Amino acid sequence: METYQIDQEGYYGEFGGAYIPEILHCCVEELKEQYRQTLDSESFKAEFEQLLRDYVGRPSPLYLAKRLSEKYGCKIYLKREDLNHTGAHKINNAIGQALLARRMGKRRIIAETGAGQHGVAAATVCALMGMECIVYMGQTDVERQHVNVERMKMLGATVYPVTSGNKTLKDVTNEAIRDWCCHPADTYYLIGSTVGPHPYPDLVARLQSVISREIKAQLLSQEGRDYPDYLMACVGGGSNAAGTIYHYLDDERVRIVLAEAGGMGVDSGRTAATIHAGRLGVIHGSKTLVMQDGDGQILEPYSISAGLDYPGIGPMHANLAAKRRATVLAIDDNEALRAAFELTRLEGIIPALESAHALGALPKVHFRPDDVVVLTVSGRGDKDIQTYLSHPF
């Protein structure tokens, strides 16, 4: 049987691997040797699960959205990652990796962040565990995401604005890797999505897989069967989607629909829809689809949603799209905004702009009345209120 999980060499089909400078080889190798064993150990599982329960507030509810279901003529359940502590799914991964770092004897955490959501999650767990936290962030994003920067500082993190290049995420990644190269012995690089060199995509997918583990149990008790007909999620780097689909990857009864950020439209030049507009390349130490020009220069992505504004895509998702295991739809800014207002008015839930892209895919799928759909609401919309207010529907 075909598997969509990672292979022995760290690839999903032709995507993945570890394309890193020689100096980082031992750091990545050390992580590769330890992560599986640590994640599978009873002591790690006990500590991780306790924090997920008592600190994050898991399990997150699987909520049957009756009015939304009526609108789309099927049965739609929302997986409520927006109800987690700090307001999104990113905390699941940040806690898991901080526990791993501690077990590897590393006390200094570095992270890079675009929108600031991952930076806040990293700063939160570092406060919780008494670890040093350094967050690299582009100067442009420091200005755009002022509130998140203040949150990180209050949590005790040091925020380094990066002023090289375009001052956005890809320049920041280089800065973080440079730091890691200089402090390999005591530093752990906490990556926020299913991206980066192997083993990060698999590590992050496993830590987020709690989402689909819960979906299985919740569907069994609420629907009498442990699988849905459709799973839907938005994709930036791919971590909330990976968590949502992890335990269903090889279950072909379940259709997977992923939503990437179309921006102003996939052909407009102002997009972050990497699966539609990208070509094979290397980004962030991984071979995957990349938005690039004819010379292989990485293009600046655009989306109204800061969390989906990434010029690459996790290798798992690139493979799912290439093998047609997943349907990937590009949802543009307006479609996402409309969907955010729709959910707000129908269910009283203001979603994150990222999650609104998954909701924006609902009108594009032809459901049957008895279809069971699980859609992950990756985060809450509080951080996006300014954007919503200036684009009313």
Ligand X SMILES: *Cc1c(COP(=O)(O)O)cnc(C)c1O
Q: Which is nearer to ligand X, 107 or 144 (CB)?
A: 144
Beta carbons of 12 and 4 less than 8 angstroms apart: yes
Give the interface segment with ligand X, choosing from 2-10, 19-27, 236-244, 275-283 (CB under 6 A): 236-244
Q: Give catalytic status of residue 90 as yes or no.
A: yes
Give the interface segment with ligand X, choosing from 4-12, 250-258, 287-295, 347-355 (CB under 6 A): 347-355
Q: Supply 130's token pair.
A: 């008494």
Q: Which of 86, 187, 218, 239 binds ligand X (CB under 6 A)?
A: 239
Q: Does 117 bind ligand X (CB under 6 A)?
A: yes
Cα distance between residue 164 and residue 358, in whole Å: 33
Closest distance of CB 260 from ligand X, Å = 9
Catalytic residue among 90, 106, 170, 383: 90
Catalytic residue among 209, 355, 378, 383: 378
Closest distance of CB 236 from ligand X, Å = 3
Q: Give me the 157-196 binding string for ligand X, x by CB under 6 A, dash otherwise.
A: ------------------------------------x---
Q: Which is nearer to ligand X, 17 or 307 (CB)?
A: 307
Q: Give catalytic status of residue 66 as yes or no.
A: no
Q: Which of 20, 235, 349, 361 binds ligand X (CB under 6 A)?
A: 235
Q: Give catalytic status of residue 33 as yes or no.
A: no
Q: How many residues make contact with ligand X (CB under 6 A)?
A: 19
Q: Which is nearer to ligand X, 10 or 307 (CB)?
A: 307
Q: Which of 234, 257, 275, 321 binds ligand X (CB under 6 A)?
A: 234
Residue with the closest Cβ to ligand X?
379
Q: Which of 271, 288, 303, 355 binds ligand X (CB under 6 A)?
A: 355
Q: Does 201 bind ligand X (CB under 6 A)?
A: no
Beta carbons of 71 and 346 less than 8 angstroms apart: yes
Beta carbons of 282 and 268 less than 8 angstroms apart: no
Cα distance between residue 332 and residue 304, in whole Å: 9
Q: Which is nearer to ligand X, 38 or 355 (CB)?
A: 355
Fill in the DSSP letter of residue 301. P
3-class SS of residue 231: strand
Phi-psi region of 330 (alpha: psi -120 to 50; beta: other; left: phi over 0): beta
Catalytic residue among 112, 175, 347, 354: 112
Our CA angle for 246, 43, 190, nearest 5°, is: 55
* 330: Cβ contacts below 8 Å, ≥ 6 apart: 259, 260, 261, 262, 266, 271, 273, 275, 276
Beta carbons of 282 and 315 less than 8 angstroms apart: no
DSSP, residue by residue, 267-290: TSS----HHHH-EEEEETTEEEEE
Give the distance from CA 306 to its chain's centroid.
12
- Restricted to residues 65-104, the positions that interact with ligand X (CB under 6 A) are 88, 90
Closest distance of CB 161 from ligand X, Å = 20
Show the DSSP H helices in the chain as ranges: 25-40, 42-51, 66-72, 90-103, 117-129, 139-144, 146-154, 169-182, 200-208, 210-223, 239-245, 274-277, 315-322, 333-347, 353-360, 385-390
Q: Which of 201, 236, 312, 360 binds ligand X (CB under 6 A)?
A: 236
Q: Which of 196, 285, 307, 311 binds ligand X (CB under 6 A)?
A: 307
3-class SS of residue 10: coil
Separation in Å, CA 390 to CA 146, 227, 337: 18, 39, 11
Closest distance of CB 233 from ligand X, Å = 7
Give the interface segment with ligand X, choosing from 99-107, 237-245, 289-297, 318-326 (CB under 6 A): 237-245
Binding site for ligand X (CB under 6 A): 88, 90, 117, 193, 234-241, 307-308, 352, 354-355, 378-379
Positions marked catalytic: 90, 112, 378
